[in-house]
Structure 1
Amino acid sequence: MSDAPLPPSPAGDSPRSGGIYTRAGTTVSLKRDAWQAQIATQGGSLVALTFNGHPLVRAWPTSQVRPCYHGATLAPWPNRLADGNYIFAGQTHQLALTEPELNNALHGLVCWENWTLIDSGPDTATMGTTILPQPGYPFQIELTSHWRLSGEGLTWTVTAINQAPAPAPFGIGIHPYLTAGEGSVDDWTLTVPAQTILITDPSRKLPTGRRQLRTSPLSDLRIGRCLKGVRLDDCFTDFTKGQISITRPDGTGVAMEWEPENLPFAQVFTSDLPDSPWDRTGVAIEPCSCAPNAFNAPEGPPTLTPREERTYRWSLKMI
């Protein structure tokens, strides 16, 4: 990819808002005390987060195409949708297969969209986008993301509003890759205080059932397990606490926190990407409002009712 000069910032993303135009759209840098963050309009994404210069998420260069959904917002569905196909209100809908090797539609519609930078300040940024009716998803959802740094870390909220006069299937998640510092995934300990793990079909990574985590070979994740040699691309639920942490041997590291009442599931991926520079360099922690393939759940898809507004909140902090 050429490193030729980039075009001027498009209208709506002016220097007045503090943005810098890059190949990831407009990026905004935030700072509060020892905390720094960088946000990009492409996918409403978290690019970087540091404390005293130490990374808490695996940053990606905005001069390149964003790798592996790093830091993206996932909506109107997170995770995988089998065959990109679902039935809602008696109508069958077909979405593009964005994970063609597994015949799935992956991670929604907004993760590659260029969101609008609405406002920014020294330690805050707000961006928005609207999912307009389209083939496979003939619904209209307005999304607004807000990031805020405090002395404790980064808080990230997303508000979704169904702007249509009819119900819409809807789910949401985020996709940051957390890092406990130097080294790789093999050097860190992961703690997942969940009671249930979803059983998946290894050929398509879609859920086929559930199992109590205490009876799983991964049962020690509940109290903390060293990730050396452990490969995860699994979804957990029934959390006793809305927190997943990654720590170094000295017990310090990073925690993702959220409200399990609104976000009852969390996918964990150990970035197993052989022959990639991103192989096992971070752990994707993805708290989500619904399970994989939720649009095809036996009880029906999760929905937003007409004009319903719902807010979801995540936070990242040092431990």
Structure 2
Amino acid sequence: MRDASLNPRRPLATQPMTHLAAQLSWLDDPVIAARLVTLTAGALRVVIAPDVGGALAAFYEATSAGPLHWLRPAVPQAFEARDPLRMASFPLFPYCNRIRDARFEFDGATIDLAGNDARFAHALHGNAWRHPWRVDALDESAAELSFEHRPDPRVRGDWPFRYRARQRIELSGGALRITLSAQNLADRPMPFGMGHHPYYPRTAQTRVYADVQAMWHADAEVLPTHFGAHPAVDALRAGMSPDAFDLDNNFANWAREATIAWPDEHRSLTMTADAPFDHMVVFAPANDPQLCVEPVTNTTDCFNAVGMREQVGGCVLQPGEEIEAALTWTPHRE
């Protein structure tokens, strides 16, 4: 149901999950562990899987009772399949979410992305998440990763612009901070967007707080139809249960701050974002344990969407132009 209608029933799959129910068994697998990078700062830990799309495998706090997860940890199968969709969070370059029919018009030409992933009818999340990233620098609490895309005309649906993406992932001041940046390495302008795709633990008591102005309503294929009011806007301001609506929708002109709270566990996680992360996606499907609150620079299908620039987002990077902005997740415990 993509019009995000009310869902008064609690999803059957959304059963309470304490931090003790999600242990990090894959850290005990030497083959998997050898592929990972772990950052530490006090009790905080972030585990990075560079070869799984530069994704985060976990962000947690080490406690005497076990790991207290601030993001939903990866499942073991995610490493074998190299599947970022089953990780804790992953970067989105050079656009976020779907592009209708995997094509759009730009600078007088049709950009055809069809064929880049047979699983999806519409191009999804760009291409950086489908490739390994390189670790360029590393210390105890910070890592710098990069990915450079060189278009290959032999690959159907390949992104036709050369670019370099970077992530600086660090634990500092009791928080996780990720600085995303990109540079257009092509000799022509490139349409662009970026973001991160975090999954959070979802329980019956979880609440999401955010100050948003309006929502992009979507069709059955999760593509935007129109921008306007929705009860979820007020619900988010008051503290929305992920079970209240069937959501996979973009919210524009948010305050660039959102809090995911677990009041029964006396804790919360506040996410803040720099401009131009002026858009936020909430993915809270009915009858499903997933919950995403994603900071992004563009709405779904931004290269085709019709609307005011502040409602659509995205930008055009000129040859050699760079863009950089940071995201921060700060845990709080009562």
- Give the TM bin, normalised by the shorter chain: 0.7 to 0.9
SS in 2 for 1:111: helix
Offset at 1:110? 0.9
Shift in alpha-carbon separation, 1:271–1:69, aligned structure 2, 3 A: farther
User: Which residue does the alignment assign to 2:194?
Assistant: 172
Distance of 1:164 and 1:99 partners within structure 2: 23
Determine helix, strand or coil for the equivalent of 2:204: helix
User: For residues 1-319 of structure 1, what are the structure 2 equivalents within 5 Å?
Assistant: 26-41=35-50, 42-52=52-62, 53-60=67-74, 61=76, 63-65=79-81, 66=83, 68=85, 70=87, 71-97=89-115, 103-135=121-153, 136=157, 137-179=159-201, 184-201=202-219, 203-213=220-230, 216=231, 218-239=233-254, 241-250=255-264, 252-259=267-274, 261-270=275-284, 279-280=288-289, 282-298=290-306, 302-319=315-332
Q: What percentage of residue pairs aligned between the two structures are identical? A: 27
TM-score by length of 2: 0.78
How many residue pairs are counted as aligned between the two chains? 285
| Deviation digits for residues 279-310 of structure 1 (CA, Å, limit 9, x no counterpart) | 41x42121111110011134796311111111
Distance 1:51 1:295, change over 3 A: same
Indicate the larger mover: 296-305 or 247-256: 296-305
1:176 counterpart SS class: coil
2:31 and 2:223 map into 1 onto residues whose CA distance is 35
Name the aligned partner's letter for residue 303 of structure 1. Answer: V
Distance, in Å, in 2 between the alignment partners of 1:245 and 1:100 is 35
| Distance 1:24-1:80 versus aligned 2 partners, 3 A rule | farther
CA change 1:37–1:102 in 2 (3 A) is closer
**3-state SS of paired residue (1:77):** coil
SS of 1:57's partner is coil
Q: In 2, Cα distance between the equivalents of 1:67 and 1:306? A: 29
- Aligned partners of 2:215 and 2:233 also within 8 Å: no
Deviations 1:26-52 (A, max 9, x none): 310010011111011121111101123
Q: Secondary structure at the match of 1:185?
A: coil
CA distance in 2, matches of 1:315, 1:221: 20
Distance 1:134 1:271 in 2: 36
Q: Distance in 1 between matches of 2:68 and 2:163?
A: 36
Unmatched 5+ residue regions in structure 1?
1-19
Alpha-carbon shift at residue 25 of structure 1 (Å): 8.7
Q: Which amino acid aligns with 2:248?
A: D
C-alpha distance in 1, partners of 2:171/2:184? 28
In structure 1, the residue corresponding to 2:53 is in which secondary structure? Answer: coil
Change (3 A) 1:168 1:63: closer
**Shift, 1:232, TM fit:** 1.8
Greater helix share, 1 or 2?
2
Distance change >3 Å, CA 144–CA 92, structure 1 → 2:
same
Displacement, 1:134?
3.5
Cα offset for 1:22? 5.2
Contact kept? 2:53, 2:84, Cα under 8 Å? no
Shift of 1:238: 1.1
Per-residue deviation at 1:103? 2.2
Aligned AA for 1:89? D
Cα deviation, residue 151, structure 1? 3.0
Question: Structure 2 vs 1, CA of residues 246 and 47 (structure 1 numbering), >3 Å: closer, same or farther?
Answer: same
Deviation at 1:212, TM superposition (A): 3.0
1:283–1:217 Cα change, 3 Å: closer
Cα distance in structure 1, aligned partners of 2:140 and 2:316: 36
Q: In the superposition, relative to structure 1, how do residues 63 and 83 fare at CA in structure 2: closer, same or farther (>3 Å)?
A: closer
